[in-house]
Structure 1
Amino acid sequence: MRTRLRWLLAVALLLVVAVPLTILFLRTHERVTRVETLPPQGEARYNPLYVLGQALRADGVEANARPRLDLTAMALQPHDTVVLLQDSAALPPTTARALLDWVERGGHLIVRTTPLTADDAADDTADNGPLLDMLGVDGTSRRNACAPFHVADDVNHVEFCDSRRFDVDPPTGIRVAQAWRDEEHGHVFVRLRRAAGTVDVLADLNFMKNSAAPGVDGLHDKAHRDLARYVLAPNYGKGTVWLVYGTRPPSLWQRVFHDGWPVWVPLLLALLGWLWLRAQRMGSLLPSPAVERRSLLEHVRASGEHLLRYGKAPLLYDAVRQAFLNRLRRRAPTAAALGGDARIHAIATLLQWSHDRVRIALQPPAAHDVAGLRDRIRLLIQMRNLL
């Protein structure tokens, strides 16, 4: 019965506390849904064409991404497409010539001009590289205007801002199929035909890249998707699309440094703490140990001062008097055997001292007469040394 009553009281107390708290929580809090945009993870962190590849795969097109152009590993086939975001100026002439030979067999190459640098503002020339030179493309540093790209829902849309414009004079065997330019600033896009293949040269490929924020740039923009679909049109759906993004994935050490800091920072602090505990200190927190003093004279002096401080002066006198008598027994046993005045007379005769001086030396001083104690000890030592 007691157990049941105890449980009933506990449940009642819980209800009395929980019900008001629940009502208070529901009245003071509101459910809110918020969407958080997380930073890119995995391949999306270092591959600017990752979203384009995902979009192509979703549309049934085979897409492969690579950090660098490698014709041996890629084994390009006719009707394939290569999006070359990598700087084409770094390609050797043999690779550029092999790319154009593949284009002749029906390939589609999409390439951009050399990226602009801070030094290009003062110099109008540019290092185009062997690939663009073979195509007759002459890049400049003119970048003071954007190219209008009007779409139905955004009539003021512009593209290719802050990019390298170019002029084109194709050699024999290459013809211009389509071009997008203005007379003042030069080309932003040109489509060249070489035998059965196509080469698209653009001022930049930013519209194909991943976006920094939804709805701002990249393929999140509808105009960018339309432009990307137009550029990819010649071989779209016919072969593999190779996305050469031109950057390498982060190394193991970079990933450990940026992503593994919750592990290595505590370990580093623990290591530093252990080193601090084990390190040799310049100064000690404890007092230096007392150095052993081995001088017998210091011990004797300290013992005498101790006895004198605590009223044991007669013991000091007795010790000195006994040392004198012991030597007297060895040097003058006859005088030592006497007693009273006879001993004093014999000692005075032996030492050629006055009787009063010997008597004072052999007479114990008062207990607190420090001066008398010193005089008698001095006399006894002199008498002992004269024997």
Structure 2
Amino acid sequence: MSARATRLVIGGIIVLLALVLAAWWYARYERVEVEVPVPPRGEAAYNPLYALKKALVASGHEVVARANLNLAAMALGPRDTLVLGSDVRTLSADQVAALLAWVDGGGALLFGLPAGARERPGALVDQLDLRLDDEAGQCLRLSATPAAAAAGRDGRQTLCFDTLVARAGIDEDEFDLLAGEPGRGYYLVGRDHGDGQWTAAGTLRFLRNDALDKGANTDLAWQVLAPLLHGGRVHLVYASDVPPLYVLLLRYGWPLLLPAACALLAWLWLRARRFGPLLPPATTTRRALREHVEAAGEFVFRERKTSALYAPLRRAFDARLRRDAPQLAALDGEDLVAAVAARTGQPPQQVRAALQPTDLNHPERFLAAVQWLARWGLR
């Protein structure tokens, strides 16, 4: 068989195998639809009560959603309902007073109890005389209605409440709604307030977008909201105050802040050897007056300029001699030496060495001359 025929046979086998593999793939392949959740967009991305808003609109209610509690702009009516889905501790005393006055006039209020608020519950909780307990949290096992289960939504859910209304010191007869486990606390309380009513829940997580898709949460939301709907507008407040920047960074930015902090600490550790001076500070040169004089004398001797030190002393001696003995100052040479020796009582050799020095650059001779002149010329 020629080489060309061999290549044709090998090529045919490869094509046949590819056809067999394709036939097996299409025979075994099954097309399946898969739902891939995508991040929410638009208002649903920042409004956690957006699904509740759409559900209430679909049921025929007029709904207004706001990012903060602005009572003047909201113009709450006597038959309106307010769902306060934010931390009630951010409300001021004036806002609480205006809010309770509106409830007293016929409004309906639903709010969530703030987590970790046992020591600082806020003005609204204090005005309603509720004592919170955040150490005895409990979970509620919810079951969806048969209709919700038949619609394909989850039949059973667990909803946990971190904050409860304490049983101790509460008069159960004063409340129209109390829900909780015996001996622990209430996760749902409510009562009339004037012509209106208010309801407080241990959490409002069952009203959020990701929770309303579950049948049990939907049923609970309707059971809580239905008694509060009186035909007026429904106001949804999903944030009464924007947290500070550092709170947002710690809450949402820790996946980036943590590795950045570790990288910073590693860099500081690598560069730690450069902290502080590389060398000890140089010792400041300090000399006493005598050391300066000695250094100056050594310099003069090195430069062979001792006459510059001798001349001032000789001028001082001549000036004293002219002042005290003018007749001696007029002498010169050996006559001066003899006269000064006779006057001072010093040997002529010392007087001659001081007044007529032969080699001032010799240390001993220079020292003898200047000592004699300093002794007899500077008195």
Aligned CA distance change for structure 1 residues 237 and 26 (closer, same or farther; 3 Å): farther
Gaps of at least 5 residues in structure 1 are 1-20, 212-217, 255-387
Instruction: Kindly provide the CA deviation profile for residues 79-99 of structure 1, in whole angstroms up to 9, marking residues without a partner as x.
Output: 111111111111011110111
* 3-state SS of paired residue (2:227): coil
- Equivalences for 1:185-224 in 2 at 5 Å? 185-211=184-210, 218-224=211-217
Gaps of at least 5 residues in structure 2 are 1-17, 249-379
- Equivalences for 1:92-103 in 2 at 5 Å? 92-103=92-103
Q: Which residue of 2 aligns with 1:137?
A: 130
Q: How many residues align?
A: 219
RMSD: 3.5
Amino acid aligned to 1:93: A
Match of 1:245 among 238, 241, 250: 238
Deviation at 1:56, TM superposition (A): 0.7
Deviation at 1:160, TM superposition (A): 4.3
The 1-side partners of 2:88 and 2:193 are apart by 18
Q: Which residue of 2 aligns with 1:64?
A: 64
- Equivalences for 1:147-296 in 2 at 5 Å? 147-150=140-143, 157=156, 160-167=159-166, 175-211=174-210, 218-236=211-229, 238-246=231-239
The 1-side partners of 2:213 and 2:87 are apart by 24
Deviation at 1:162, TM superposition (A): 4.5
Amino acid aligned to 1:241: V
* 3-state SS of paired residue (2:48): coil
The 2-side partners of 1:127 and 1:149 are apart by 30
Instruction: Kindly provide the CA deviation profile for residues 338-361 of structure 1, in whole angstroms up to 9, marking residues without a partner as x.
Output: xxxxxxxxxxxxxxxxxxxxxxxx
Aligned CA distance change for structure 1 residues 240 and 247 (closer, same or farther; 3 Å): same
Aligned CA distance change for structure 1 residues 113 and 150 (closer, same or farther; 3 Å): same
Deviation at 1:210, TM superposition (A): 1.2
- Equivalences for 1:335-350 in 2 at 5 Å? none
Q: Percent sequence identity over matched residues?
A: 32
Aligned CA distance change for structure 1 residues 24 and 76 (closer, same or farther; 3 Å): same
TM-score (norm 2): 0.51
Q: Which residue of 1 aligns with 2:321?
A: none
Deviation at 1:141, TM superposition (A): 1.3
Aligned CA distance change for structure 1 residues 92 and 223 (closer, same or farther; 3 Å): same
Aligned CA distance change for structure 1 residues 47 and 26 (closer, same or farther; 3 Å): farther
* 3-state SS of paired residue (1:38): coil
The 2-side partners of 1:35 and 1:158 are apart by 22
Aligned CA distance change for structure 1 residues 99 and 208 (closer, same or farther; 3 Å): same
Aligned CA distance change for structure 1 residues 62 and 187 (closer, same or farther; 3 Å): same
Aligned CA distance change for structure 1 residues 150 and 27 (closer, same or farther; 3 Å): closer
